[in-house]
Structure 1
Amino acid sequence: MRKSTLALLGTACFVSGAFVTKLAENTITIDMMRDAQNLMGLHFTDAQLDSARADMEDFRKDYETIRKQPLSNDVAPALMFNPIPVGFAFEQGESSFEVARPAHVKLPKKREELAFYTVPQLAELVRTQQITSEELTRFYLERLKKYGPTLECVTTLTEELALQQARQADKEIKAGKYKGMLHGIPFGVKDLLSTKKYKTTWGAMPYKDQVIDEDATVVQRLQDAGGVLVAKLTLGALAMGDVWYGGKTRSPWDLTKGSSGSSAGSASAVAAGLLPYAIGTETLGSIVSPSTACGTTGLRPTFGRVSRSGAMALSWSMDKIGPIARSAEDCAIVFNAIYGPDGKDQSVYDVPFNYNATINPKKLRVGYLKNDFDGKYGFKETDQATLQVLRDAGVELVPIELPDLPARALTMTISVEGAAAFDELTRSGRDSLLVAQHKYAWPNTFRGARFIPAVEYLQAQRVRTLLVQQMQEKLKDVDVYISPSFASSNLVITNLTGHPCVVVPNGFQKNGMPTTITFMGKLFGEAELLSFSKFYQDLTNHEEQHPNLNFTKKKKA
């Protein structure tokens, strides 16, 4: 390596800043600038570089000045992603939400069967006072204590708070002040959502003792609906994968396999019947992937639907919060409690959510990514079976294609925004405390992102604008469409454009692990999307299959 390159790395070149705290005092030279431009494929002459040298010296001083300004993770950039294409029309009017109470719900003779009851079933038991919220909360706490350590899916049990909230719910229900289907129902949250008095670890060693003494908006809204917070759940460190500071979260279907991530604990706990539902987040597959590994149903809402106030930021323009549960209708019930503006997250839109389970899905215009159903994404047999079930039910499937733009290249968005979100972690050297240190782990991704020029990042966002507009055109004639869950182009494109999806179980692999399929909706089209997903689940029983929790006969890898 040339001396000039070493000097460049040590002095925080103009590319995007350095990952050393103290800037070297030597002057920026033409040799350094020549090496810097080679990193990004530029071809300025020496004379042109020399003319720009004074600006670069000034930029470097500005970097140092800006770094002296404290910036906590919750401070968002003054730029906000706009997922709304030209010509898009918002639904108008007030929200209406209709979910029928299940009839004739009784306590099971075997109390263990409660573990896999749906939210409406549990809600009816609590509403009719066949079981108290405190009894139900203690039931799930015991399951979390029994199975949580083996699955490595819990960071913190909030037992004291949970019992307090459950007793309060029982008092309110007994007094006739019933708040709805989440009243008295236990839940857990991914441990990147802040909670009063309890640690918020972000799954990462440098933050394992961090306390952010406030409730995230999502947590507060669920508690306002009468929900009982019983656990903070694991996530792969800083929202990547299933490896966290305490271990590796497991799929309850096979303990030799991870639960994927990064909403690792949320999916694992729900699949194992340790909770009725949990909150996850997704930036690029973090609800879809663990739901597939664990066989749960997950909703990734439209970008701008749910406030992220109190949530760890990884990518301000891509992070989304949604529920992981047993069924699409469970997800609809939870979503109904958490969506909408809170006056804090300015990216959230005020758009109604008119879910009605009795809607006729056969009247929806349903597309599917025909070219992605050839098996190259792993689950050909079960995916084809899903299409056939829908066709047999009278649903006409229309083939569609996604925009032909370089979406994969746009994922630099996460690298750049993540590097900014964790700038202090990188420059302080505390990134060495993270468990994962492999080539593609966050420490190296954040370091590499320092060399992405601001111009190139903004150019990527301009291409993203084209992607948003072209998706609007592609979906103008469909209400929902179907994709294999791991069709990479769909997963990448729709996370960049902010479109909602519901991932649902649709069978099993030969090795016994679950498979899923993904139903996609239009922007802010969660009502139709969840209704269609429920329609499919009413035709099948995949979401009713549960893992055998006889862990004593299995060993972890």
Structure 2
Amino acid sequence: MKNRTIAILGAACFVSGAFVGRVSDNKLTVNILQDAQKVLGLNFTDAQLDSTLSELEEMKETYTILREQDLPNSVPPALMFNPVPAGFTFETKKTAFEVQRPAQVKLPRKREDLAFYSIPQLAELVRTQQISSEELTKFYLGRLKKYGPTLECVTTLTEELAMQQARQADKDIKAGKYKGMLHGIPFGVKDLLSTRKYKTTWGAMPYKDQVIDEDATVVQRLQEAGGVLVAKTTLGALAMGDVWYGGKTRSPWDISKGSSGSSAGSASAVAAGLLPYAIGTETLGSIVSPSTACGTTGLRPTFGRVSRHGAMALSWSMDKIGPIARSAEDCAIVFNAIYGPDGKDQSVYDAPFNYNTGINPKKLRVGYLEDDFAKEYGFAANDKATLDALRNAGVELVPISLPNLPARQLTMTISVEGAAAFDELTRSGRDSLLVQQHKNAWPNAFRSARFIPAVEYLQAQRVRTLLVQQMHETLKDVDVYISPSFASNNLVVTNLTGHPCVVVPNGFQKNGMPTTITFMGQLFGEAELLSFAKFYQSITPHEEQHPSMDFGKKKKS
């Protein structure tokens, strides 16, 4: 029965991928299944394959019936990834969120300097009514209009909405109804988060005029905190890379280079001072990578920390939403507004975020990936300087190694789940409208994924369970660990296990492009992780470096 079931599911997977659109017109034969076996790595006899034919024909009818069901991208599967390993517990008592308010913040003599003020600095100016939210919003809208076209980092300006929200913020603040540090502060969101009355394009030509007339939970929460939505930022089409239907998003450090992706526009706009902060998402590097290309600070939270309601789904078991900002503390302020259950995304845990000034970063147990730091790479000196700076500041670093499991092979998870999320796009042939059509682009990846058997996908998830458990054992003696941002194995492993990270700038390459270092945390350990990243930024000046914005000397490639 076991072998027969494998043959049925394996051959069915092949048939559903290879004969889309014409399978119902052709009878299956043993010869067809023999070919299917070659793709799937199976070796059943002709007699065994012949026994499966009748049930496989019934399966074809099942596929037809299921495909008639309306399954928008927002509908998740009935299976849910659990990042919590056996034996792991997280804090349940919630304490007050605490950020030290800056003293004596004044408007700069040069108004353009506002572009790179931190959230607390801007908040103090707005709270003390040295500048109105309306004035601040017009300031950032002006920069978005001036530099956005060159950087190709904006899909939609939400100007009318922004002015309404800014004026309401001013009215509330004058009436003594101050909501906190995000009140009256402009922000942008990656254009895979739905926004009422404005387009949500997913960066992709087939959806460039799509309107999902509701606010994603993250957008709603930021607006409830008094935030002012000014822009939808670009993403590589369907959350891959920096190429979207309107062009290629650029790094403000060198506009001949892309900003990487897929949170391309969010990182580019923040780095260029077009936004104080923006929301990004990550499935496999989409916050870490553009933050590195643009020199921003990005938080990828624990899987299950932030509701994805209203966000485009690429991989239901790997997608995560987080802020991209100027500093770790800016990220903490934004994260505090967006985390936690909303009653809509059932994957979200009710775990507190106890970020406060009482956390002593020097008392945290800190590891580092010794083997990765020992490798030779172009900006190794920057990473060594990071380790040295921490050691000189009194931090003891303990070497650790990641589990030895085939993590890279588990990335089939994204292919399978993405192919399911965009099943209709593939079967309709509208995937031909996507700008990128090379063999590593989504159209081919989604087609290829249809040849992955359900059995193999589930086996991969079982290996993933082992990975989750082994990571728990690896990190039992550390609160935080440090990885080079280039370390792809760490990026893959921790996106699969759901661990949080903060990526922060730590210098420049010889070509003038920024570099970053990655700080990793325990599951649901964002408070300690962000406190440690803030400590590092307090002893180094890297996050204070900004691009010149003199684009005349560079040309787009």
- TM-score band (shorter)? over 0.9
Q: 1:20·1:428 contact (CA, 8 Å) conserved in 2?
A: no
Equivalent residue for 1:551? 551
Shift of 1:55: 1.6
Equivalent residue for 1:424? 424
**Helix, strand or coil at the partner of 1:139:** helix
Equivalent residue for 2:8? none
Q: Counterparts of 2:200 and 2:129 in 1: how far apart (Å)? A: 34
Equivalent residue for 2:403? 403
Q: 2:24·2:60 contact (CA, 8 Å) conserved in 1?
A: no
Structure 2 residue 383 is matched with structure 1 residue 387: no
Runs of 4+ in 1 over 3 A off after TM superposition: 11-19, 375-378
Shift of 1:343: 0.2
Aligned residues: 548
**Helix, strand or coil at the partner of 2:260:** coil
**Helix, strand or coil at the partner of 1:218:** helix
Q: 1:15·1:452 contact (CA, 8 Å) conserved in 2?
A: no
Equivalent residue for 2:496? 496
- Per-residue Cα deviation, 1:476-529 (whole angstroms, up to 9, x for no partner): 000000000120110000000000000000000011000000000000000000
Equivalent residue for 1:176? 176
> TM-score, with normalisation over the residues of structure 1?
0.97
Equivalent residue for 1:81? 81
Letter in 2 for 1:136: L
Q: Counterparts of 1:377 and 1:69 in 2: how far apart (Å)? A: 51
Q: Counterparts of 2:184 and 2:479 in 1: how far apart (Å)? A: 35
Q: Counterparts of 2:445 and 2:276 in 1: how far apart (Å)? A: 35
Equivalent residue for 1:43? 43
Q: 2:355·2:528 contact (CA, 8 Å) conserved in 1?
A: yes
Give ranges in structure 2 of 5+ residues lacking alignment: 1-10
- Per-residue Cα deviation, 1:55-85 (whole angstroms, up to 9, x for no partner): 2111111111101111100000000001010
Letter in 2 for 1:356: N
Q: Counterparts of 1:250 and 1:70 in 2: how far apart (Å)? A: 37
Equivalent residue for 2:192? 192
Equivalent residue for 1:106? 106
Shift of 1:552: 1.9
Q: 2:366·2:396 contact (CA, 8 Å) conserved in 1?
A: yes
Q: Counterparts of 1:357 and 1:384 in 2: how far apart (Å)? A: 28
Q: Closer, same or farther in 2 for the Cα pair 1:14/1:552, shift >3 Å? A: closer
Q: Counterparts of 1:145 and 1:210 in 2: how far apart (Å)? A: 23
Q: 1:17·1:63 contact (CA, 8 Å) conserved in 2?
A: no
Shift of 1:18: 4.9
Letter in 2 for 1:77: P
Q: Counterparts of 2:52 and 2:323 in 1: how far apart (Å)? A: 50
Equivalent residue for 1:136? 136
Equivalent residue for 2:480? 480
**Helix, strand or coil at the partner of 2:51:** helix
Q: Counterparts of 1:70 and 1:263 in 2: how far apart (Å)? A: 29
Letter in 1 for 2:219: V
Structure 2 counterparts to residues 199-278 of structure 1, below 5 A: 199-278=199-278
Q: 1:377·1:487 contact (CA, 8 Å) conserved in 2?
A: no
Equivalent residue for 1:7? none
Q: Counterparts of 2:280 and 2:18 in 1: how far apart (Å)? A: 33
Equivalent residue for 1:369? 369
Q: Counterparts of 1:482 and 1:97 in 2: how far apart (Å)? A: 25
**Helix, strand or coil at the partner of 1:324:** strand
Structure 2 residue 148 is matched with structure 1 residue 148: yes
Q: Counterparts of 1:250 and 1:19 in 2: how far apart (Å)? A: 40
Q: Counterparts of 1:249 and 1:241 in 2: how far apart (Å)? A: 9
Structure 2 counterparts to residues 293-308 of structure 1, below 5 A: 293-308=293-308
Q: Counterparts of 1:265 and 1:181 in 2: how far apart (Å)? A: 23
Equivalent residue for 1:4? none
Q: Closer, same or farther in 2 for the Cα pair 1:61/1:478, shift >3 Å? A: same
Q: Counterparts of 1:26 and 1:229 in 2: how far apart (Å)? A: 53
Q: 1:189·1:233 contact (CA, 8 Å) conserved in 2?
A: yes
Structure 2 residue 343 is matched with structure 1 residue 347: no
- Per-residue Cα deviation, 1:322-376 (whole angstroms, up to 9, x for no partner): 0000000000000000000000000000001000134211110000000001244
- Per-residue Cα deviation, 1:271-315 (whole angstroms, up to 9, x for no partner): 000000000000000000000000000000000000000000000
Equivalent residue for 1:6? none
**Helix, strand or coil at the partner of 2:266:** helix
Q: Counterparts of 1:13 and 1:274 in 2: how far apart (Å)? A: 47
Shift of 1:20: 2.7
Q: Closer, same or farther in 2 for the Cα pair 1:19/1:430, shift >3 Å? A: farther
Q: Counterparts of 1:361 and 1:41 in 2: how far apart (Å)? A: 51
Letter in 2 for 1:264: A
Q: Counterparts of 2:223 and 2:307 in 1: how far apart (Å)? A: 15
Structure 2 residue 245 is matched with structure 1 residue 279: no
Structure 2 residue 493 is matched with structure 1 residue 462: no
Equivalent residue for 1:439? 439
- Per-residue Cα deviation, 1:107-133 (whole angstroms, up to 9, x for no partner): 000000000000000000000000000
Q: Counterparts of 2:312 and 2:49 in 1: how far apart (Å)? A: 40
Structure 2 residue 513 is matched with structure 1 residue 506: no
Equivalent residue for 1:64? 64
**Helix, strand or coil at the partner of 1:455:** helix
Shift of 1:542: 0.2
Q: Closer, same or farther in 2 for the Cα pair 1:537/1:15, shift >3 Å? A: farther
Shift of 1:17: 4.1
**Helix, strand or coil at the partner of 2:323:** strand
Q: Closer, same or farther in 2 for the Cα pair 1:77/1:146, shift >3 Å? A: same
Q: Counterparts of 2:358 and 2:254 in 1: how far apart (Å)? A: 37
Q: Closer, same or farther in 2 for the Cα pair 1:416/1:377, shift >3 Å? A: farther
Q: 1:221·1:337 contact (CA, 8 Å) conserved in 2?
A: yes
Shift of 1:16: 5.0
Letter in 1 for 2:324: I
Shift of 1:14: 5.0
Q: 2:188·2:232 contact (CA, 8 Å) conserved in 1?
A: yes
Equivalent residue for 1:317? 317
Q: Counterparts of 1:510 and 1:198 in 2: how far apart (Å)? A: 41
Q: Counterparts of 1:465 and 1:358 in 2: how far apart (Å)? A: 35
**Helix, strand or coil at the partner of 2:507:** strand
Name the % identity.
82
**Helix, strand or coil at the partner of 1:38:** helix
**Helix, strand or coil at the partner of 1:303:** coil
Q: 1:537·1:543 contact (CA, 8 Å) conserved in 2?
A: yes
**Helix, strand or coil at the partner of 2:43:** coil
Q: Counterparts of 2:137 and 2:95 in 1: how far apart (Å)? A: 31
**Helix, strand or coil at the partner of 1:148:** helix
Q: 2:250·2:258 contact (CA, 8 Å) conserved in 1?
A: yes
Q: Counterparts of 1:378 and 1:465 in 2: how far apart (Å)? A: 35
Letter in 1 for 2:352: P
Letter in 2 for 1:221: R
Letter in 1 for 2:373: F
Letter in 1 for 2:512: G
Q: 1:158·1:198 contact (CA, 8 Å) conserved in 2?
A: yes
Q: CA RMSD in A?
A: 1.3
Q: 1:12·1:23 contact (CA, 8 Å) conserved in 2?
A: no
Q: Counterparts of 1:167 and 1:19 in 2: how far apart (Å)? A: 57
Q: 1:197·1:213 contact (CA, 8 Å) conserved in 2?
A: yes
Q: Counterparts of 1:357 and 1:16 in 2: how far apart (Å)? A: 56
Q: 2:16·2:23 contact (CA, 8 Å) conserved in 1?
A: no
Q: Closer, same or farther in 2 for the Cα pair 1:528/1:386, shift >3 Å? A: same
Q: Counterparts of 1:316 and 1:19 in 2: how far apart (Å)? A: 26
Shift of 1:24: 3.5
Q: 1:270·1:277 contact (CA, 8 Å) conserved in 2?
A: yes
Equivalent residue for 1:8? none
